[in-house]
Structure 1
Amino acid sequence: GLHEFIKRIVSHPQLLYYIICLCNHIHFHIGNPKIVSFFSSAKPTDFDFLKVIGKGSFGKVFLAKRNHDGKYYAVKVLQKKVILNRKEQKHIMAERNVLLKNVKHPFLVGLHYSFQTTDKLYFVLDFINGGELFFHLQRERTFPEPRAKFYIAEMASALGYLHSLNIVYRDLKPENILLDHEGHIILTDFGLCKEGISQTDTTTTFCGTPEYLAPEVLRKQPYDNTVDWWCLGSVLYEMLFGLPPFYSRDTHEMYDNILHKPLAKRPGASSTAWSILQGLLEKDGTNRLGSRDDFNEIRAHSFFSSINWDDLEQKKIPPPFIPNVSSYCDISNFDPEFTEEMVPNSICWTQEHSIVNASVMEADDAFVGFSYAPPSDDSFL
C-alpha cells in the first residue's frame, strides 16, 4: 500500500531526490504548496539566531526568530562530532523520538522541526521564557506548600503521560523544569528518556543526576518507571526544604544516604505532604507510591485532594506565580552567563563554509531518521 511505497522511497535517497525535484517543479509551475509541504524541511538559514540561552555537554540552545513569519523558537544545536566521540547518539535519537510523541501534552515542550547539517543537529522547540524552576527556587530558597503542590501536580501529570507511552523520563530535576510565561510547568531535555519501558519492564542503565538517583539505580538493579516517582519526591522535598532529601557535598556520602539513611522528618510541612514524601521516597521500589497503578496512585493521594485534575490539565487553575516576562522574546529569566555570549557565525554554516539545506538526503548512518517536518501547511517554503 501507500505506507510501503513511502518506506521504499525514503530508503532510496536518489529516488527521493528526483521526487522532491518533481514536486518543486509542480509547485513552481502549478502552485500547489500542499504537495511541497509534505517533503519540506527546515534549514539553519531559515532562522535569525539572536541569543545564547543555554549550554550543555553537546552544544548550545539559542533564541531564534523564524525569518518568514517572525515567530520565536528555542533552537538546540548539537555537535555531531562530540556526540559520536562520547557514543551518545542513542540518547540523542531517543530525545528526538520522545519529542515527536509528546506534542499533545500541556506540560511537555513541543518539537516543531528537527534537521541536520554535515556537522550539527538542530531541534526547533517551543521557546519557554519564564525561567528554570531552579532559577526561581535558588532566588526564593523554598516554596510555600500550595505552590509546590501545584508544580508537583503538573509534573506528575506529564510523567504519567510519558509512562502511558511506555517512556521513563529518568532525569527530573529543577534545571530540566521550566516555567512558561503564564507560570505553568514545562518539562524539557529528553536525552535520558528510555523508550519501550512499560510498567512491567525494567532497565539497568546507570544515568541521571546524583542528588535524585533512586536506590535501585545506584545499586545497578533493574528498575522501571517508579524511578520517576522517586525523582518527583526528591524535587518536592527540595521545593519545601531547600535541598534534596539525602544531599551531601560528599558524593559518596550522599549515595550512602540514599541507600541507607532513613528519611528524616522536618518541621514546616503538612501531614499529607509528609505522607506523599514517604511514599515517593520509599527505598524499595516495589513498595514505592506509584509501583502498583502508576500515576493513578499519585493523583489519588490525599496531598492532592484540593486538585481538580481535569482543570489542571486544561490549564484552568491559575498558577501561583507569574514570571516577570515583558514579551515573547524576553530573556531576562535566563542566566546572563549565557545571554551575554556572542552567537557564533558558524551556526548557519558547515565546516566547509557553505550554506546548506539540511534535507533527509544529508542524513548519515549515525543519525538516520533524525530530520522531521510536520506534513502540514506550516511549511518553511
Structure 2
Amino acid sequence: MGCSWVREENLADASTASKRPPVPVGTLLASRLGCLKARPHAPKATSAEEQQRKVDPRLDELQVVRTIGVGGSAKVVQAKHKLTGEFCALKVVPKASIFESEERIRRIADEVRIHSQLSHPFIVSLRRAFQTPTHLFMEMEFCAGGELLTHLQRVGSLGEVDARFYASEITLGVEYLHSQGVLWRDLKPENCLLDGAGHIRLADFGLSQAGLTASSRFTCFVGSAGY
C-alpha cells in the first residue's frame, strides 16, 4: 500500500479529470497536429476526405481528457477509451522532429523497442505503439498520482518512512532494468510517476541504452542537463 497522502489526492485528481468534457482524439490530431509532414517533401493531402483517411482508426477509440506533460518535441495527454472508460497516457511525437537527424530516429526506435519489452510492477507499461504519416503514438498506462517531483515540491521533503518506501520501489525498478540489460540514464523525480495507490512507476526510456552487461563500459555523457 502506498502513502495515504498520495493516494487520497490521486483519486481526487482522477475523479475531477474524468468529469471534464472529452475531445475526440481523431479530430484533435487532424485539426491541430495533422498539418505537420513526416518529411519536408511529403505530398500534401489534396482534400479533406484524403486527410481524414490518414488518421489511424485506433485514434478514434480514444477521447482526450487533458494534456498532462510537454517536453522537447513531444507531449503526453490523458485519454479515455470510449468503450471501456479506462484511462491511458498517450505520448504524441511529431515525425517532423524525429526526422531531424539519424540520432533522433535511432533514439525513438530504441525507446519503443526497449519499453515494449519491459514488464515490472514499478515500471510504466507500454500497451502499444502506432503511427500516422505525421505522428508517432505510444499508448501507456495512466498514472493518476502524477510526478514524484510534484509531491516533493508540495510537501518540501519526505519523512524517513516515505523516503525509504519510494527509494525501495525505485531501486527495485532500476534493478529489474539492469537485469534486462537496460541502462536507464534518466533517473529523476519527473520520471518517477505514482499510480492511483501511490506506488512508483518508472517512465520515459528515450535515453536508455540496451546491451548492458557486467563488463559494459559506457563513456558518453547522457542525461537531463539540470541533473
TM-score, structure 2 as length reference: 0.72
Counterpart contact for 1:65–1:72, Cα < 8 Å:
yes
Would you tell me which structure has more helix in proportion to its own residues?
Answer: 1
1:78-115 deviation digits (Å, cap 9, x = unpaired):
01111221541222112112221112x10000011110
Residue 46 (str. 1) matches residue 61 (str. 2): yes
Aligned to 2:79: 64
Residue 80 (str. 1) matches residue 67 (str. 2): no
Q: Give runs of ≥4 in structure 1 deviating > 6 Å.
A: none
Asked which structure has the greater RCO (Cα within 8 Å, sep 6+), the reply is: 1
Instruction: Show structure 2 runs of 5+ residues with no match.
Output: 1-55
Aligned to 1:219: none
Would you tell me which structure has more strand in proportion to its own residues?
Answer: 2
Residue 130 (str. 1) matches residue 145 (str. 2): yes
Q: 2:203 aligns with which of 188, 195, 202?
A: 188
Larger Rg: 1
Counterpart contact for 1:42–1:114, Cα < 8 Å:
no
Instruction: Output the amino acid matched with 1:205.
Output: C
The separation in 1 between residues aligned to 2:176 and 2:74, in whole angstroms, is 28
Q: After the TM superposition, which residues 122-271 of structure 1 pair with which residues of structure 2 at under 5 Å, given as runs?
A: 122-212=137-227
Range that drifts further, 157-166 or 86-95: 86-95
The separation in 2 between residues aligned to 1:156 and 1:130, in whole angstroms, is 19
The separation in 1 between residues aligned to 2:195 and 2:211, in whole angstroms, is 29
How high is the sequence identity, in percent, across the aligned residues?
38
Give the C-alpha shift of residue 203 in structure 1.
2.0
Aligned to 1:116: 131
Instruction: Show structure 1 runs of 5+ residues with no match.
Output: 1-40, 213-381
The separation in 2 between residues aligned to 1:207 and 1:121, in whole angstroms, is 24
2:99 aligned counterpart, secondary structure: helix
The separation in 2 between residues aligned to 1:74 and 1:188, in whole angstroms, is 11
Aligned to 1:337: none
Instruction: Output the amino acid matched with 2:115.
Output: L
Aligned to 2:107: 91
Instruction: Output the amino acid matched with 1:56.
Output: G
Give the C-alpha shift of residue 204 in structure 1.
2.3
Could you say what the CA RMSD is over the residues aligned between the two structures, in angstroms? 1.5
